[in-house]
Amino acid sequence: MTRTDHVSPVQPGTTVKGTGHERGGTSALYTAEERVRRDESVWTVVQGILAPFQFLVFLISLGLVIRTLTTGDGAFAADASIVVKTLVLYTIMITGSIWEKVVFGKWLFAPTFFWEDVFSMLVLGLHTLYLVLLLGGIGTLEQRMLVALAGYGAYVINAGQFLWKLRMARLQGSLPAQTVTA
């Protein structure tokens, strides 16, 4: 879940399909003003750093969770890694919301990232449910780990959504005056 795409503007006459909404006759992710705000925002850099860090934390935690589910060993390490992943997720969600406010004037659900934000809420909800189960002593270890895996599955889909937007933004910037379909 990140919003980091440094690209050049869509040229007049360019039609880009599959990006989410129409912008002045073209389907562009950003208006010229939004692109400037995006490129000048420190929050763009923050998101660019947090996203790969979150993915690394995810990979480590995923391995620990799978180990716990398959062997029964390492429950504490798996729980600790999920808590760290959740804290990183909250951090990237908060900073991403600030980024969205700076760029689009909305804390969340700006048209360009509406569906990514909707799915992010599912990811956040599953991670929060995991914390409730852990801190409330609710359910079994296996149930907690399965909730974490559901959250991780949703995270992978959500990360894919953001990578798709990054790809679309780059295509818009690299193929002026052409039709880009995806």
Per-residue pLDDT tens over the stretch 121-161: 999 999 999 999 999 999 999 999 999 999 999 999 999 99
Q: Which two tokens stand for residue 142?
A: 């296996």
- Bridge partners of 180, per DSSP, are 16
Please give the residue range of the domain that contains residue 82. 30-170
Task: Check whether 110 has a pLDDT greater than 70.
Answer: yes
Q: Are 156 and 89 in contact (CB under 8 A)?
A: no
- Percent above pLDDT 70 for the chain: 80
Which pLDDT value is given to residue 67? 97
C-alpha–C-alpha distance, residues 141 and 134, integer Å: 9
Residue 38 lies in a domain: yes
Q: Are 41 and 99 in contact (CB under 8 A)?
A: yes
Q: Are strands 179-180 and 15-16 parallel, antiparallel or unpaired?
A: parallel
Residue 91 lies in a domain: yes
Q: Which two tokens stand for residue 178?
A: 């052409």
Which phi and psi (to 5°) does residue 17 adopt? -95, 150
Residue 50 lies in a domain: yes
Q: How confident is residue 173, by pLDDT bands cut at 50, 70 and 90?
A: low
Which pLDDT value is given to residue 172? 74
pTM over the 0.85 mark: no
What single-letter DSSP state applies at residue 5? -
Residue 77 lies in a domain: yes
Distances from the Cα of 32 to the Cαs of 9, 29, 159, in angstroms?
A: 7, 10, 25
Residue 71 lies in a domain: yes
Structural domains in the chain (count) = 1
Which pLDDT value is given to residue 29? 83
- Percent above pLDDT 90 for the chain: 63
C-alpha–C-alpha distance, residues 14 and 145, integer Å: 47
- Bridge partners of 23, per DSSP, are 26
Closest CA to 8 of 166, 164, 170, 162: 170
Residue 136 lies in a domain: yes
Q: Are 67 and 73 in contact (CB under 8 A)?
A: yes
- Average pLDDT in the 168-173 region? 75
Which pLDDT value is given to residue 145? 97
